[in-house]
Amino acid sequence: MSKVMAEYIWVDGQRPTAKLRSKMKVVEVAEVRSLSELPDWSFDGSSTYQAEGKKSDLMLKPVRFIANPLKPGTKDILVLCEVMNPDGSPHWSNTRAPLRMVAEKHASEEAWFGMEQEYTLFEGNRPLGWPDKGFPAPQGGYYCGVGCDEVFGRKLVESHAEACLRAGIKLCGTNAEVMPAQWEFQIGPLPALEMADELWLARWLLYRMGEEHGISATLHPKPVKGDWNGTGCHTNFSTKSTREPGGLKVIEAAMEKLRVKHEAHIQVYGAHNVERLTGLHETAPITVFRWGVSDRGSSIRIPLGTANDGRGYFEDRRPAANCDPYEVCRIMLETVLG
Pseudo-torsion of CA 47, 52, 53, 55, nearest 10°? -120
Q: Is residue 184 involved in binding Mn ion (CB under 5 A)? A: yes
Between 184 and 324, name the residue whose CB sits nearer to Mn ion. Answer: 184
Between 184 and 327, name the residue whose CB sits nearer to Mn ion. Answer: 184
Smallest distance from ligand ADP to CB 306, Å: 9
Q: Is residue 188 involved in binding ligand ADP (CB under 6 A)? A: yes
Beta-carbon contacts of 196 under 8 Å, excluding residues fewer than 6 positions away, are 96, 99, 113, 325, 326, 328, 329
Of 118, 315, 324, 327, the residue at the interface with ligand ADP (CB under 6 A) is: 315
Beta-carbon contacts of 8 under 8 Å, excluding residues fewer than 6 positions away, are 22, 23, 24, 25, 41, 60, 62, 79, 81
Q: Is residue 276 involved in binding Mn ion (CB under 5 A)? A: no
Q: Which of 299, 144, 128 is nearest to 224 (CA)?
A: 128
Smallest distance from ligand ADP to CB 103, Å: 14
Of 94, 95, 236, 298, the residue at the interface with ligand ADP (CB under 6 A) is: 236
- Residues of 45-66 as b/e, b for ≥16 C-beta within 10 angstroms? beebebbeeeeeebbbbbbbbb
Of 12, 76, 82, 116, the residue at the interface with ligand ADP (CB under 6 A) is: 116
- The Cα-based distances of 149 to 8, 144, 178, 246, 264 in angstroms read 39, 13, 14, 47, 42
Q: Is residue 316 involved in binding Mn ion (CB under 5 A)? A: no
Q: Is residue 39 involved in binding ligand ADP (CB under 6 A)? A: no
Beta-bridge partner residues of 92: none
Of 68, 186, 241, 283, the residue at the interface with ligand ADP (CB under 6 A) is: 186
Of 76, 116, 197, 334, the residue at the interface with Mn ion (CB under 5 A) is: 116
Between 32 and 187, name the residue whose CB sits nearer to ligand ADP. Answer: 187
Beta-carbon contacts of 226 under 8 Å, excluding residues fewer than 6 positions away, are none
Between 215 and 332, name the residue whose CB sits nearer to ligand ADP. Answer: 332
Binding site for ligand ADP (CB under 6 A): 112-116, 172-173, 186-189, 234, 236-238, 243, 313, 315
